[in-house]
Amino acid sequence: MSSLDYTTLESNKRFKLNFDGGDLSSDAGLLLIKEFISKLHFDKLISSIFHTNDFSSRRTHKDDANLLQVIYQIFSAYYEDDCADELTNDPILTAVLAKKSLASQPTLSRFYNRMDDNTLRQFDNLMKAMRRIVYKIKSPEFILLDLDSTLLDTYGKQEGEDFNFHYQKHGYHPLVCYDGLTGDLLKIQLRDGAAYSSNGVADFLRPVLEELSSMEFAPELSLRGDSGFATPELYELCEEDNYKVSYAIRLKINSKLRSLVKAEDELLFKMTQKNAVDYAVVYGEFYYQARIWNKPRRVVFKIEKPYNQITHMYTFIVTNMTVDIKSVIKFYCGRGNMENFIKESKNGFDFGAVSSHSKLVNANRLQIHALSYNIFNWFKRLALCASMKKQCADTIRFKLIKIAVKVVRSGRYIYFKLCSSCPYISEFYETLTNINSLQPQLE
């Protein structure tokens, strides 16, 4: 090739460049995700279950292909809809989607706007169907339901946005339920910004309990939540014979509870009267029935004097567990790990992408991001190489997804020539081997 076809850099005359390197991409790791999705037939589930109210028979970009495109874009951290225009001819994305070009930003916007209550139900059915496949590969003996709520920022006068007193910000206030042992997102529901934490929690949780209780392996269920979920409707739901969920839920401190632990409070004061520096703690329990409860329930408590402080801190937890007091306290305190799941969901999968004016469209978009989160979490648990399983999504994305590749097409094959200087070649092949060894029991 003539030297006239190259541009020479002034910083070093030996540096020559042009844009004639062939079909290149920075996302070769999506081939692993494609293989995983295909192995577990998630793509076929999407094709059979998901469709919008689109009656056009001549549309180039079908609903299932649009949904998969958005999921792959989320895996690659291309969160903005506008990214679709810049990725139109990306050789990896077009290859894994088996398309000549990607759907454009206006096409995706129309796709989102066709979503309604029916598609919300489809996302729920899709998640359940995928979860059944995953659980048949590796059945959990225990599932720990971690309940919480979080804030998704909004901008402008979007439907359902409101000021949330707890967060002191405007936004949406969705309910979330994760499996505290695996990080799986069992359910998420978009709510108005001003909704209180426990509003509608029983209706939110009942379908999850019905699904998990009806599974063949019938895992043992337990639940924990902070004081925002201290409501009798949740206690009664967990105590139903159909579910029998062990729960530990923190209670808000009030004068009645303080009076019931007065003796232990005075004991702690005497213990620390001559030593106001060191940490000290007392434990106890009692049966208690609030005015709106239908029966007395076990309440365990911890009163502690923090190091170098003179004030006492109180923790009250209502529970139906029969284990000792310290075990209940320890079990409840483990829910702090849920904040990591929420952080991963927001930072690694852009759960805050609720930019539409319509609350219904935003609710559907949130389900797409939740679906992406779960597929990636299942990929980590079932297929990812052992050395990366504990790493966050951004780190895995940087190491295993963002790999440079040159795509070469022949008459019969497509060759993917990955970067030879990639430092994670062995991890890539180990993950691919793990995917190939999966034996899903398909329905």
The model's pTM is: 0.94
CB 416 within 8 A of CB 32: no
> For every one of its 443 residues, what pLDDT tens digit does the chain have, with 9 covering 90 and above?
445 689 999 999 999 998 888 999 999 999 999 999 999 999 999 999 999 988 777 788 999 999 999 999 999 999 999 999 999 999 999 999 999 999 999 999 999 999 999 999 999 999 999 999 999 998 999 999 999 999 999 988 899 999 999 999 999 999 999 999 999 999 999 999 999 999 999 999 999 999 999 988 889 999 999 999 999 999 999 999 999 899 999 999 999 999 999 999 999 988 888 777 788 999 999 999 999 999 999 999 999 998 888 889 999 999 999 999 999 999 999 998 999 999 999 999 999 999 899 999 999 999 999 999 999 999 999 999 999 999 999 999 999 999 999 999 998 999 999 999 999 999 999 999 999 999 998 76
- 92 contacts: CB under 8 Å, gap ≥ 6: 25, 27, 28, 30, 31, 405, 407, 416
CB 248 within 8 A of CB 169: no
How far is residue 34's CA from residue 95's CA, in Å, rounded to a whole number? 10
Residues facing residue 246 across a β-bridge: 222
β-pair type (220-225, 246-251): parallel
- 205 contacts: CB under 8 Å, gap ≥ 6: 145, 147, 177, 187, 234, 237
DSSP 3-state assignment of 49? helix
Structure tokens at 124: 């729920």
Q: Work out the angle between the directed axes of helices 30-39 and 63-75 (0-180°, nearest 10).
A: 130
How far is residue 346's CA from residue 195's CA, in Å, rounded to a whole number? 20
- 62 contacts: CB under 8 Å, gap ≥ 6: none
DSSP 3-state assignment of 312? coil
